[in-house]
Structure 1
Amino acid sequence: MMIRVRSRDGLERVKVDNPNCKVSQLKSLIEHQLGVPANQQRLSLNKDLLLVKSPESQLNNGQFSDMEDPNKPISSLGISNGSIVYLYYQGERSVSGVARVSASGSFGRRMTIDDLIARQTRITRQETPHCVSVSFDRDAANAFQHYVNEALAFAVKRGGFMYGTVDGEGNVSVEFIYEPPQQGTEDNLILLRDPDEENRVDAVAMGLGMRRVGFIFTQTVGQTKGDYTLSNVEVRQSAELHGENELKEWVTAVVKLEVNEDGGADVHFEAFQMSDQCVKLFKDGWFVDDCADLDPKLSRMKKDVVIAGKDTRDVDNDFFLVVVKILDHQGPLSSTFPIENRMTPLTMRALRNHLDRVKHVSFVKRISDFHLLLFLARCLDVKSDVPILAECVQAQMPVPEGYQLLIESLASAGGN
């Protein structure tokens, strides 16, 4: 398996043959493959390790002692294929192909990304995301992954826009996923954007007190055999969608299958932010679109950039990714109504079946499902009716009788 090691030099990979090896053995592998002496290594799963001047001074409070025991198996720490381990070390070493660039100018003057691009474009790593964490509503996440797992078998790509809220500390909560019309293949995802439908989606979301907060997509079984986190196609698409929005906490989530210890496959979620530099470079037209001849783990620039003091046009995609912590929660909405733009077209019969299935609860509970509200928005006035229903759901207050009769009348049109 491959473990990603992030240090002040950037992101590197270490091959580990034994997934149950001990911390001391991992250090030996890092010394052999990356050239950092084991006795100089400080390892941790806490990314803040790279932000302190001397981790030794903070050992007393145990902040970076999670990998202190040399005999602890790395599997007991949750380290598996693709995991990121943070490495601190003192001294210097020669690093080949890793981006390590200072963002300071002459006389220590701090430079912005704009300053760097104006003078000479250097690829730098953004260590801290604007999004502190992203929490997925369990039902929404399960409805998405279950479809791509059971119906699509992870054979073709699938994507959607995540909607939810952002608190004052930068924590994102995803409450539902809207799946636009799309065409997926093993390597590409084409979103067939429908502005009218997206207006209805935004109207429902606004009534619920929510907004678009990110993009989620799947990687196929064929892709997971590759040695990359995101392909260059995925980087460009993610940067484009991120760039459409002014939300600095915008999240990009990836869903894929990963081999477990028993040889089976588990569905795995990862979350990132595209770095500020990545989004700016995309907006400024630096990315080459046609990269059929390029390793998928690399993105090609139209002009030379500087990596580790060398000019190049090919950049490891990992340099553009900022890892975001994933959580989960049980949100206020259900996800039992059939989801839009899938293989089975939605009819009024689906509305009738849904209302009959949940007739034992209050009417507002019966319609507390984003996908049902979006379906109703096709028949109701987006500017007047939809906000009223959405606000009823958000506040969990009784639905006006006239709307109940209207919705039940629409359901009755579904026939027997």
Structure 2
Amino acid sequence: MIRFEVESGITFQQFRIMISKKLKVGLKFLKLTREDKKLFKSSDDKKTLQKLGIVHGNLIILLPKCLDQEKIQKEKEQKKQEEEELKRKAEGIIIGPDLGITDEHNEEQIIELENEWDSKQEKELLMPILDRIKEGKIVLPYYLQVRMKNLGNNSLSMSVIDWLDETKPKISHQEKGDCIGVEFDFQSGNAFHSFVSNTNYEIPRVGYLFGTVNNDGSVTVDFIYEPPQKVLPKTQRVYILENEEEFKLMKGISKLLGLKPVGWVVAHKPKRSKRKLMKAWQIIQAARIQARFGEHAVTVIACPRKSGKAQFEAYQVSNQTVELVKQNKVKLSSRDYTLDFFERVIVEKKKEMSAGSYFFMITIPIIIHQSFLKNNFFIENRGPWNRGDLNVHLMTNKEKSWEEKFSDPHFLLFLAKMEIFSLKTDFPMLCTQIKNKEKITSGFSLMLEMFQN
């Protein structure tokens, strides 16, 4: 039981507002009766308590169901807001927090906020976003919508700016990657790096890594497939020209060998930066690779030491970077080791339009291992292949066993592309024998010798 002390001249509506605030129950859910359980009507709101016969000592009863009804209604509204928020997020719309200021008796709070006004400064700061608000791409919280309605679209409080800052992406460095380490085949790495070495590091090169994702979260790289590619001389950026048919063959062969794509590698001239940083175009490409090949996909960078020998470094980009690239919120900068944003973001508590490579990349430990595969055949897309390459390969490696000749992914791709062996009928048995290090069935070697002759 709650006791109220009121003036005799107040209306029943004013009395209801007092009860509403005290019990924290919305006005529309407040159902009151007299002691005789006779319900008050909406027409009673404008009458005074005296006129209604309410005097000192009278008991006013709140229906118990009021609280249940309000709870049910709030749950419905909350569910509806969650559904709308999911829908808007799917459409790329920014959603404002719901502060729950919806009842008439809360207008006082809105009026208090309106007194914190500086329209000139706010108009200048907020003009760029007004069109987006009108188009519905930015949905403000309820109390700010009311103020816009009452004071005009060009009048918003400074709290809008604070709220918009809260919705901006906060760029932070991710300490650990999804991949805990890389085992990198040194033969494949050296064969790959030899391309840039032979061109005096003037033409960079990229390739896809094929291997396995291990149970502990590490990645083992067994060979490198080099897709068709083009280099822009001024920027030294490499563009991959996908050959879908060839890549499908390579994936099919690797699957039969128990392998799959696990990342990409790029080889280029020595870095200008002394710090171990990825270039901006490499970060964007790495994000696309991780989105395409899976969260454990890695980036390996090969560049020469002072001695000229290859040095390999492994990286991943953060999960946040993958999402930013997916949503097309970043772009290349004029600076090699910086990414630009299309809209301001928060970087180390400051509003910025760009951020350095450090914020996007994660260094991954890398060690060298020896794969069960070889690198003896001409590597794809460094020059045109023809059937005469088979004779050269067999003559050059005539002292080697058929197991060594066949255990070369580039040679297997050649056999598939030239339709010498069938991916459906010949490769399953051949790849199983290679994978298990078994003796190659003599039928395969006889077929090659017949084809050679």
Shorter-chain TM-score: what band? Answer: 0.5 to 0.7
Q: More helix per residue: 1 or 2? A: 2
* Residue 226 of structure 1, CA deviation: 8.2
Residue 385 of structure 1 corresponds to 426
Q: Distance in 2 between matches of 1:153 and 1:399?
A: 39
Which residue, out of 369, 373, 383, partners 1:329?
Answer: 369
- Check whether the contact 1:207–1:391 (CA below 8 A) recurs between aligned residues: yes
* Aligned partners of 2:185 and 2:222 also within 8 Å: yes
- Pick aligned residue for 2:436 from 387, 395, 413: 395
RMSD: 2.2
Q: Percent identity?
A: 28
Aligned CA distance change for structure 1 residues 236 and 332 (closer, same or farther; 3 Å): same
Q: Does 1:365 align with 2:419?
A: no
Kindly state the Cα deviation for residue 176 of structure 1 after the two structures are TM-superposed.
0.4
Work out the CA distance in 1 between the residues paired with 2:276 and 2:180.
24
Residues 187-198 of structure 1 correspond to what in structure 2 (within 5 A)? 187-198=236-247
Cα pair 1:180 1:340 within 8 Å, conserved: yes
| Pair 1:214 & 2:263 matched | yes
The structure with more strand, counted as a fraction of residues: 1
Distance (Å, rounded) in 2 between the aligned partners of 1:203 and 1:300: 38
* CA displacement, residues 5-33 of structure 1 (integer Å, 9 cap, x when unaligned): xxxxxxxxxxxxxxxxxxxxxxxxxxxxx
SS in 1 for 2:212: strand
- Contact 2:172 2:359 (8 Å CA) reproduced: yes
**Aligned letter for 2:285?**
Q
User: Would you say 1:309 and 2:349 are equivalent positions?
Assistant: yes
- Displacement of 1:376 in angstroms is 0.5
Distance, in Å, in 2 between the alignment partners of 1:180 and 1:387 is 24
Q: Name the count of aligned residue pairs.
A: 286
The one-letter amino acid paired with 2:362 is V
In structure 2, relative to structure 1, the CA distance for the partners of 1:268 and 1:224 (3 Å cut) is: farther
The aligned counterpart of 1:159 is 206
Spell out, residue by residue over 1:86-143, the C-alpha distance to the aligned partner (whole angstroms, 9 max, x if none): xxxxxxxxxxxxxxxxxxxxxxxxxxxxxxx993310111111111111111211110
Compute the displacement of 1:227 (Å). Answer: 6.9
Q: TM-score, normalised by structure 2?
A: 0.59
Q: Is the 8 A contact 1:348 1:410 kept in 2?
A: no
Q: CA deviation at 1:256?
A: 1.6
- Secondary structure at the counterpart of residue 272 of structure 2: helix
Partner of 1:285: 328
Give the Cα–Cα distance (whole angstroms) in 1 for the partners of residues 446 and 429 of structure 2.
Answer: 15
Equivalent residues of 1:182, 1:189 under 8 A apart: yes
One-letter amino acid matched to 2:194 = H
Matched, 1:147 2:195: yes
TM-fit CA distance, 1:265: 4.4
CA-CA distance at 1:267 after TM superposition? 2.8
Q: Which has the higher contact order (CA 8 A, sep 6+)?
A: 1
Letter matched to residue 197 of structure 1: E
Query: Aligned partners of 2:315 and 2:180: how far apart in 1?
Result: 11
Q: Which residue of the partner structure matches residue 288 of structure 2?
A: 240
1:70-91, Cα deviation, whole Å (9 max, x unpaired): xxxxxxxxxxxxxxxxxxxxxx
**Equivalent of 1:129 in 177, 181, 187:** 177
CA shift, 1:337, in A, is 0.9
| Separation (CA, whole Å) in 2 of partners of 1:128 and 1:394 | 33
Once the two structures are TM-superposed, the CA of residue 194 in structure 1 deviates from its matched residue by: 0.3
Larger Rg: 2
1:112 corresponding residue in structure 2: none
**Secondary structure at the residue paired with 2:410?**
helix
Supply the distance in 2 between the matched residues of 1:322 and 1:127 (Cα, whole angstroms).
7
Q: Which moved more, 1:362-371 or 1:305-314?
A: 362-371
**Equivalent AA in structure 1 for residue 272 of structure 2:** T
2:393 is matched with which residue?
A: 354
Residue in structure 2 matched with residue 62 of structure 1 by the alignment:
none
Q: Which amino acid aligns with 2:286?
A: S
Structure 1: 5+ residue stretches without partners: 1-116
For residue 170 of structure 2, give the secondary structure of its aligned residue in structure 1. Answer: coil
Shift of 1:411: 3.1
Unpaired runs of 5+ residues, structure 2, are 1-164
1:296 — aligned with what?
A: 336
